[in-house]
Amino acid sequence: MRKAKVERKTKETSVEAFVNLDGTGAYDVATGIGFLDHMLEQLSRHSLIDLRVRCKGDLHIDPHHTTEDTALAVGEAVSKALSERTGIRRFGTAFSPMDEALTRVAVDASNRPYLVWRVKFKGARLGEMDTELFKEWFYAFAQSAGLTLHVENLYGENTHHIVESCFKGLARALREAVEVDPRRAGEIPSTKGVLGGSL
């Protein structure tokens, strides 16, 4: 039952996002930005989170609003599906290689949003997207999903490979973090008895 649907509508975008945390990695994604679709498909397939996304945005201006609002909607759906985050493993880590690129991703599903982004690109654009938008996507996703998220590209040359290793690393780390731990027996994975709020 760890499923959620979110609708987000502004003057800039209209987004519908559905997630099933206990899925098989099935996806159906259409944002109007081909490369972003490809990355969201990777996120779904490698996290085993079923994902459906529909977005109509002001792409006649640029991809910024679509990129950010898609991340906000998907992240909010993940957070809603997690509910009180009872019984989850909470932490997840992954090293994600893609050819010459290697990225390390660590997730704490703490409900305390934070992003550390140590990724640099040599190219300013990738497909229809400015490469600076990838940080915006990860930031918005971390904020709305309630994740402490560290993404560090250790090395790499090809921009496509670096970005894809970031999304695949997020997928694998997220899969581990949101998975139900049978040893937790329905407990909140925190000594405070609740996730979120102050340290």
Check residue 114 and give its pLDDT.
Answer: 98
Looking at the chain, the whole-number percentage of residues with pLDDT higher than 90 is 89
Q: Is the pLDDT of residue 184 over 70?
A: yes
Lowest mean pLDDT, pick from 9-13, 122-126, 133-137, 149-153: 122-126
Q: What is the dihedral of CA 17, 25, 40, 189, to 10 degrees?
A: 70
Q: What is the dihedral of CA 22, 26, 28, 32, to 10 degrees?
A: 90
The whole-chain average pLDDT of the chain stands at 95
Separation between Cα atoms, residue 180 and residue 90, nearest integer Å: 9
Check residue 199 and give its pLDDT.
Answer: 45
Q: Is the pLDDT of residue 197 over 90?
A: no
Residue 191's pLDDT band, with cuts at 50, 70 and 90, is: low
Lowest mean pLDDT, pick from 35-39, 141-145, 192-196: 192-196
CB burial class (10 A; 0-12, 13-18, 19+) of residue 141?
Answer: buried
53-84: pLDDT as tens digits: 999 999 999 999 999 999 999 999 999 999 99
Selected from 3.30.230.40, 3.30.750.80, 3.40.50.150, 3.40.50.300, the CATH number assigned to the domain covering 3-178 reads 3.30.230.40
Over residues 87-110, the mean pLDDT reads: 97
Check residue 187 and give its pLDDT.
Answer: 85
- Smallest Cα–Cα separation from 137: which of 58, 73, 59, 80? 73
The pTM of this model reads 0.95
158-183: pLDDT as tens digits: 999 999 999 999 999 999 999 999 98
Residue 1's pLDDT band, with cuts at 50, 70 and 90, is: confident
User: What type of residue is 14?
Assistant: S
